[in-house]
Amino acid sequence: MNKSKTALVVGANGVIGSNLISHLESLGDWDIIGLSRRGGLDTDKTRYISVDLLNLEDSKKQLSSLTSVTHIFYAAYQDKPTWAELVAPNLAMLVNVVNTIESIAKGLQHISLMQGYKVYGAHYGPFKTPAKETDGRHMPPEFNIDQQQFLEAQQKDKKWSWSALRPSVVAGTALGNPMNLLSVIAVYASISKELGLPLRFPGKLGAYDKLLDITDAGLLAKATVWAATNPACANQAFNITNGDLIRWNDLWPKIATYFKMDTAPPLQMPLQTIMADKSAVWAQLQGKHNLVKHSYEEVSSWAFGDFVFSWDYDFFSDGTKARRLGFHEYIDTEKMFFDLFDELKRKKVIPN
């Protein structure tokens, strides 16, 4: 059947992009094209294209046939060591996609941009909570803001609209990306257990009792498509979270119980330091439990774990704007963690 909507998912292999593709496939009325540096295996519903979006010529060449695109879902990310260095590549990739597709896809309806709490300055230290979409901007550099300003300017007098989604920490099971808190906890717990250790919270002591919200990748996918296809959401930003709050001091002992482990008092230990030499333990564990041979790098995002566990201040937003406009999905964060750990076991990523 000839479907009227064609989704171009940029950053197709990440936690966010892969869940978005799964959701679009489940809806059944979308043609789907996934873009990423490493491509992907085509399915009967999704076609993958490998492209270097930092290269304008390669972008034009690989995307030149995509005249039927109606919706761009932008969730690509290029990691760099400093906040300032993040700006140029992350803005360039978006600009290259939008300029190329806009020039050839005459039926373009919407561009969806994935952001986060960096818009609120959450990465710098204590920020106003709950954060609201109307909060004032902070001093640059901030690539999320530059990307949004580009879309705002580009959209003037055009038929298409944009939306910006602002999740908290996103939880999902896709591997091989720099921001996966779920696999950080699962692999850290599995290795701790293998070494006969209790499960200790390794972050800042002050982070243990602060309030935090989380965003399930599946829930985020639903919200993203909702915002992209709902005219009332045009040209706006939305905080998207599970709808509840956690504190590690409450959840961490429950995670230990899930993994059938004891706990011990928190001890601040940089994961990038203490986990750097554990690849041999991981390989041993994979052999012992007949796990899929994912590389240690693929399953561990230690720098991101250190980042999240360093937040010794409240870290949450106000998610009511999306609800007021009709998005009513929510998820129990505690149950989400255990369901996703179960999924990692089923996929033979961690021991059962």
pLDDT at 262 over 60: yes
> Among the residues of the chain, which ranges form H helices?
15-27, 56-63, 83-104, 143-155, 181-194, 217-229, 248-258, 271-274, 279-289, 296-299, 302-308, 320-324, 333-346
* Residue 1 clears pLDDT 60, i.e. is over it: no
- Rounded to two decimals, the pTM is 0.97
Mean pLDDT (whole number) for 306-314: 98
Cross-strand bridge partners of residue 7: 32, 71
pLDDT (tens digit per residue) in 24-71 = 999 999 999 999 999 999 999 999 999 999 999 999 999 999 999 999
Contact (CB, 8 A) for 289 and 349:
no
pLDDT digits (tens, 9 = 90+) for 63-106: 999 999 999 999 999 999 999 999 999 999 999 999 999 999 99
Q: Is the Cβ–Cβ distance between 171 and 215 less than 8 Å?
A: yes
Reported as a pLDDT band with limits 50, 70 and 90, residue 2 is low
State the average pLDDT for the chain: 97
Phi, psi of 72 (to 5 degrees): -100, 125
